[in-house]
Amino acid sequence: MKIKQFLPTSRDEMRERDWYYYDFLVVTADAYVDHPSFGTTIIARVLEAEGYRVAILAQPDWHSAQPFLDMGKPRYGVMIGGGNIDSMVAHYTVAKRRRTSDSYSPGARMGLRPDRPTIVYANRAREAFGNIPIVIGGLEASLRRFAHYDYWDDKVRRSILFDAQADLLVYGMGERATREIAARLAAGEDVSTIHNVRGTCFAAKSEDECAFPSVTCASFEEVCTNKRAYAEATRITYEEHDSVRGRAVLQAHENRVLVCNPPAAPLNREELDAVAELPYMREVHPMYDALGGVPAIEEVRFSVTHNRGCFGGCNFCSLAFHQGRAITSRSIESVLREIEGFTHDPLFKGYVHDIGGPSANFRHPSCKKQEKAGMCKNKSCLAPKPCPNLDADHSEYLTLLRRARAIPGVKKVFVRSGIRYDYMLQDKRGDFFAELVRYHVSGQLKVAPEHCVAGVLDYMGKPHFDVFERFWAKYQRLNEKQGKEQYLVPYLMSSHPGCTLGDAVKLAEFLHSTGHQPEQVQDFYPTPGTLSTCMYYTGIDPRDMSEVYVARDAHDKALQRALLQWRRPEKRALVEEALRKAGREDLIGYGKNCLIRPRSAANLAASRREKAGAQKTPKKGATKSPPHKGAKPSRKPKRKMK
């Protein structure tokens, strides 16, 4: 029986295995956590399963090529991933301020990887090893495969393939492409001829080098200077991102052509099971023990990913452009084997933190037509209204949850990743909703209505707000029927393209009327590759090429965010400015619908007294506390939000 062990991370660890050569070096911007939630680890284990000798180089010091030289030159090539989270998002807030911690690094330390590590590592690998095949992949490369608007530089950058000087770029879920590339390199094929692999991009001298039916989008030079051309290019790249009907997309970059081959087919159920059940250690490498471990493991240590892909269609989300819209899922038996394995871990206390994925309650394609025809072009399965062909069936997922909570040693099974409530409401049986509330909510259920104004939700690609209200009412009825006190936690977003100051006021009015005061509000974050980022940069909706209002100025965004946190004393001046600017002085007063009171000496004194009194009031227990400290009780007491 083969002993499970970490992959070697140094020359010494290779020697311990009696390795005096190895085949592939896998480089990651995250710390080495040998767990199937880490994309680079999956790729490394997939290569190992194919019989290759694989070494890991995690978060190397990028200031020189020495860490690469220390590993020694691999026989076939270097595979580079930028980490589970986009490095720029990991490093900077939406206000472009440097974050103070990095949960994917040992001890949550910042500064252990550079900005844009895929580019930096690829160039260091080239410096160390010369003319060796370099393949980049993962989220960072996938979302930057075309010329793209970069929020942090505030300009359009060329495809990351050119900046990294890599030979190939693997986008999306890369197991198929990685296997084929590895096999062809091991067979002695020159990387410069590996140009017909689905799910990859390469730099060509001319369009004639493309091996698939293709379509051309505006060049890098055009999209840099013409925002309409940028929007049209974005529309084309989204239309062709389908493994069944998609064509290759060609984009000129100076004297070369980026060739983005059609997407690879998603793994089928048996293949997904096999990848999920590779011999992962499911633990942080012990070299980090003295540094405090790697915090990111805690959220996933006893969680299971059972699916891939998302047909939810949120325009601000990168999932569709990375994993694709087609759903694939693991077998129930495979998931149960993984959970049964938890029960043998001394750290397991009986609680499965999540059985989820990109959207937890998706386990099969959204309709029957997709296998032959692919996903519908320029149509959403769920928004603004569900497609008549939608197959909203939770029966298999419900069976999975029932069998999981029956495993000896399992006390509770929670669902904490995103639940699509609009999809749930289309399932007329209702048994899944009832059991979700009874067994699988850990005190609060997180959902993402994002806004309440129909026009804004249309730009977001979200269902209209009446859908959320129906879900909320049913959630509350089920909690009351079952005698449970469980809250609903809605994610809200300010400053999304299409959201005006007046729209933000309407959302603030809704929150006020329900007694909900969010502690945190997410400003729209323009990450590469999304439709919403295209809207932000161009002021154009690429779906129909119509103009879109965009709040780009930092102060304008601050006004919208302040409205959603109007009760905070430090936000009062911004709230008043926003209300006056929106022509809503009617919300400044003493009426029950008013957000703030007029400024006066008496009011300021009363505010100080109220604040002093609140500080003396002891806090209630977490399960009995009101939705938000200081929030007015809801006028609809049957609805609890947190």
Phi, psi (degrees; rounded to nearest 5) at 134: -120, 125
Give the confidence band of 207 by pLDDT, cuts at 50, 70, 90: very high
Average of per-residue pLDDT across 16-38: 97
Average of per-residue pLDDT across 427-437: 94
Q: β-strands 283-284, 33-34: how paired? A: antiparallel
Average of per-residue pLDDT across 378-383: 89
pLDDT, tens only, 214-231: 999 999 999 999 999 999
Sign of the alpha-carbon dihedral angle for 183, 188, 189, 191: positive
* Structure confidence at residue 560 (pLDDT): 96
Burial bucket for residue 44 (CB in 10 Å: 0-12, 13-18, 19+):
buried
pLDDT, tens only, 408-422: 999 999 999 889 999
Is residue 299 classed as helix, strand or coil in its secondary structure? helix
Percent of the chain with pLDDT over 70: 93
Is residue 113 classed as helix, strand or coil in its secondary structure? coil
Structural contact between residues 464 and 491, judged by C-beta atoms closer than 8 angstroms = no
- Taking Cα atoms as reference points, which of 137, 172, 162 lies closest to residue 44? 137
Give the confidence band of 639 by pLDDT, cuts at 50, 70, 90: low
> Which residues, including other chains, have CB under 8 Å from residue 604's CB and lie 6 or more apart?
none
* Structure confidence at residue 60 (pLDDT): 98
* Structure confidence at residue 134 (pLDDT): 98
Query: Which DSSP state fits 463?
Result: -
* Structure confidence at residue 425 (pLDDT): 95
Report all structural domains of the chain as residue ranges with CATH numbers, in order of start. Answer: 11-200 (3.40.50.280), 443-615 (3.30.750.200)
Say how many CA atoms lie within 13 Å of 53 toward its Cβ.
Answer: 18
Give the confidence band of 319 by pLDDT, cuts at 50, 70, 90: confident
Q: Over the range 186-202, which residues count as b (16 or more CB within 10 Å of their CB) and which as e?
A: beeeebeebbebbbbbb
pLDDT, tens only, 513-572: 988 877 678 999 999 999 999 999 999 999 999 999 999 999 999 999 999 999 999 999
Omega of the bond leading into 526 within 30 degrees of 0 (cis): no
Retrieve residue 31's tokens: 């710390």
Query: Which amino acid does the sequence have at 221?
Result: E
Average of per-residue pLDDT across 79-94: 95
The chain-wide mean pLDDT, for the chain, equals 92
Structural contact between residues 436 and 377, judged by C-beta atoms closer than 8 angstroms = no
- Taking Cα atoms as reference points, which of 49, 125, 37 lies closest to residue 83? 37
pLDDT, tens only, 43-78: 999 999 999 999 999 999 999 999 999 999 999 999
Give the confidence band of 363 by pLDDT, cuts at 50, 70, 90: very high
Is the pLDDT at 491 greater than 70, yes or no?
A: yes
* Structure confidence at residue 426 (pLDDT): 95
Average of per-residue pLDDT across 382-393: 93
Long-range contacts from 92-99, C-beta under 8 angstroms, 24+ separation: 92/152, 94/522, 94/523, 94/524, 94/525, 95/523, 95/554, 96/152
Is the pLDDT at 235 greater than 90, yes or no?
A: yes
Is the pLDDT at 634 greater than 70, yes or no?
A: no
- Angstrom CA distances, 250 to 226, 258, 294, 594, stand at 18, 6, 40, 54
* Structure confidence at residue 626 (pLDDT): 31
pLDDT, tens only, 6-25: 999 999 999 999 999 999 99
* Structure confidence at residue 514 (pLDDT): 86
Residue-by-residue DSSP string for 150-192: ETTTTEEE--HHHHHT-SEEE-SS-HHHHHHHHHHHHTT--GG
Give the confidence band of 642 by pLDDT, cuts at 50, 70, 90: low
Structural contact between residues 21 and 53, judged by C-beta atoms closer than 8 angstroms = yes
Which pTM was predicted? 0.91
Structural contact between residues 563 and 508, judged by C-beta atoms closer than 8 angstroms = yes
List the strands of the sheet with 256-260, edge to edge: 54-58, 24-28, 77-81, 134-137, 168-170, 200-204, 256-260, 248-253, 214-216
Percent of the chain with pLDDT over 90: 86
Q: How far apart are CA 124 and CA 134, in angstroms?
A: 11
Structural contact between residues 326 and 397, judged by C-beta atoms closer than 8 angstroms = no
The three-state (H, E, C) secondary structure of 341-407, written as one string:
HHCCCCCCCCEECEEECCCCCCCCCCCCCHHHHCCCCCCCCCCCCCCCCCCCCCHHHHHHHHHHHCC
- Rg of the chain, C-alpha, whole Å: 26
> Which residues, including other chains, have CB under 8 Å from residue 290's CB and lie 6 or more apart?
none
Tell me how far apart the terminal alpha carbons of the chain are, to the nearest angstrom: 51
* Structure confidence at residue 452 (pLDDT): 95
* Structure confidence at residue 372 (pLDDT): 87
* Structure confidence at residue 605 (pLDDT): 57
Q: β-strands 522-523, 487-494: how paired? A: parallel
Residue 235: Cβ within 10 Å count: 20
